[in-house]
Amino acid sequence: MKRAISVFLTLAIVFTLPAYAFAMSESEWNEYWQSSQKSAAVYVSPGHSESERYFTWYGKSGGEGTVLLKGKTGERTFSASAQETTQGDYIYKVYAHDLDEGEYSYVCKSDGFESTESTLLVSDKTSFSALYVTDVHMTKSDGEEALRSYSFEFGNTVQKAKDEYGASLILSAGDQASQGLREEYEAFVSPPALKGMETALSIGNHDRKGTEYKTFATFPYEGYAGIKSYVGRDWWFVKGNVLFLMIDSNCPDAAAHRRFMQSAVLKNSGVKWRVAVMHHDLFGGRLPHREGENALLRLLYVPLMDEFDVDLVLAGHSHYYTRSDVIMGGFSTVKTKVLSSVKNANGTLYLTSGSFTANTRVSENSEDVPVGNRVGFDYLTGEGIFNILDFSEDSIRLRSFTVSKPDEPFTEFTLEKTESRFPVSLPPMPIFNTFARSLSTFVAFTNNLATANDLKESGFDIDLRQAVFGCDA
C-alpha cells in the first residue's frame, strides 16, 4: 500500500509540473529511454581537485574505454579497461587529469558505443552553485513505467537547477537507489541534463541493499586505516574554496572516519569552507523510533564536526526537512529560528533535506510528528524537495524548494564567514571519545558481518572477507 501511494504521488507530480521545467517532452523522453545513450548511463564525477574528472558508463562487453576531450589547448585522450560489475555486465571508469581552465567537449567510447558529445567546464572560480538532493530512491520494483517517470522528473529538476540556478555540481546524500540495483543507478544518471555537470555521491542505507554501488560509484581513492563498508567509503574533493567531505554514515567506525577527516583537512588546511555530506540525519527528531540510533550517531559524528571545524552538514534519511541551530558540543550556540543568516558561526549548521520523491511518511501520520529541540526551522510536506546551494568566497546561501514549485523557495538561509581559518590544531581526544571510537570499530565489524549475511541471503555472490573488513581498493 505504501509503495502504491508513492507511485501515485510521483506520477501526479511528474504530470503536473510546469511545462517550462521539462528538458524533453514525454514522447521524446520515452524514445530516449529505449536508446543506448540512456542505458550507457554516462556521468561525470569530481576528482580531488578541479583539474580532475572521472567519466563513468556501462557497457555490454569488456575491453578498453576512451574519453576524447577537446578544449582550447587542443585534444586529449584518456583510457581505462572495463571492470565487470556485480550484476554481470561491464563498467568503464576513466580518470582525466591536469585539465586546464575552460570549457571542454567530451565523447566516451567503448566496444560498440559512442556517447553524444557533451560539454563540461573546468573553473578555478570560488563562486559556483550546486543542486543538493537526497533520498531520490529510484525504484525498479515499482515497474518500468514508474522508474521511467522517476528518472524523467529528476532530469527535469536537474535541468532547471542547471539552466535557471547555474548549478554545475550535484550533491546527493545517499539512497540514490531503493534496492541497490544497476537499473536504478542507470535511471539516476541517465537524464541528459547530468552530462554537463559533476555528480558527487554519498552512500545511503538503501544503496547497500545490493552490491552495484560498489562498481557504480566513482571517486578518487583515499587511504585511511579502519573498517569500511563493502560497497561504500569516505572520500573528499575540493571545488572553489570548499572542501567537501563525503562520509559513509552506514559505517560506524568513528576512528576510521576521524583518520579520513584528519587526512583531508590537513591536505587542504587553507580551504576556507568545510562541508560534510552524509546520509543519516542527526538532529531532526522527526522519527521517534529512530531517536536511539540518532543519539548514538550524534555521539560518533558531532565531536568530529566540532574537532575539524565543519561549517555545514548535509544529510537526509528521515525524509523530513529540518535545519538546525548552530551547534557545538551537541548544544545550540546560536538559535536560528528567527534568523535568515549567521556570520562567523561558532559551530556547525546541520541541514536535513526531505526526500526528492514524494514523502509518504507525512500521509501516514494523522498529526504532526515531533521535532528535535535543536531545530531552528522545519517544513512538513508530502512533496519532493530539492535545494540550491550558492557558494562564494564569503558565504554559502541555502535555498530549498518543493518539486512542484521550483521557482519559489520555501526557506532561505545564509552562512557568512569573513574571518580566516586558524591553523589546524588537533588536541588530544578526551578519554571518553577515545573509548567510544574504539568500541565503534568493533560495532562496524559486526555491522559488516550482518550486512554480508543479508547480501548472501539475497543471492549476491560476494567476497566475505571484503564484505566484513571493507574493500580498500
DSSP conformation letters of 204-249: -TTGGGSSTHHHH--------SS---SS---EEEEETTEEEEE--T
Q: Are the C-beta atoms of 181 and 209 separated by less than 8 Å?
A: no
Element (H, E) at 200: strand 198-201
- The C-alpha atoms of residue 97 and residue 78 are separated, in whole angstroms, by 9
Question: Quick count: other Cβ atoms within 10 Å of Cβ 331?
Answer: 11
Question: For residue 181, which of 88, 252, 60 has the smallest C-alpha distance?
Answer: 88
Alpha-carbon separation of residue 25 from 21, 172, 320, 332 (angstroms): 10, 25, 31, 47
Name every residue whose Cβ is closer than 8 Å to that of residue 34 and which is 6 or more positions away in sequence.
Answer: none
Question: Quick count: other Cβ atoms within 10 Å of Cβ 163?
Answer: 13
- The C-alpha atoms of residue 407 and residue 334 are separated, in whole angstroms, by 29
- The C-alpha atoms of residue 426 and residue 418 are separated, in whole angstroms, by 23
CA 256 to chain centre: 20
Can you give the pTM of this predicted structure? 0.90
CA 117 to chain centre: 25
- The C-alpha atoms of residue 278 and residue 192 are separated, in whole angstroms, by 26
Name every residue whose Cβ is closer than 8 Å to that of residue 290 and which is 6 or more positions away in sequence.
Answer: 318
Element (H, E) at 349: strand 348-352
Q: Does residue 253 sit in helix, strand or coil? A: coil
Alpha-helical (H) ranges within 113-178 are 144-165
Alpha-carbon separation of residue 319 from 10, 250, 285, 348, 423 (angstroms): 15, 17, 11, 21, 37
Question: For residue 200, which of 46, 85, 328 has the smallest C-alpha distance?
Answer: 46
Q: What is the DSSP letter of 109?
A: E
Amino acid at position 161, single letter: A
- The C-alpha atoms of residue 37 and residue 206 are separated, in whole angstroms, by 26
Q: What is the pLDDT along the chain (473 residues), one digit of tens a residue?
A: 344 434 433 444 333 333 333 467 888 998 999 998 898 999 999 999 999 999 999 998 888 999 999 999 899 999 999 988 877 889 999 999 999 999 999 999 998 899 999 999 999 899 999 999 999 999 998 889 999 989 999 999 999 999 999 999 999 999 999 999 999 999 999 999 999 999 999 999 999 888 899 889 999 988 888 888 888 899 999 999 999 999 999 988 999 999 999 999 999 999 999 999 999 999 887 777 777 788 888 988 999 999 999 999 999 998 999 999 999 988 999 999 999 999 999 999 999 999 998 777 776 665 667 788 899 999 988 899 999 999 999 999 999 999 999 999 999 999 999 987 665 555 555 555 666 677 778 778 787 888 778 787 777 877 777 777 765 54
Number of residues in the chain: 473
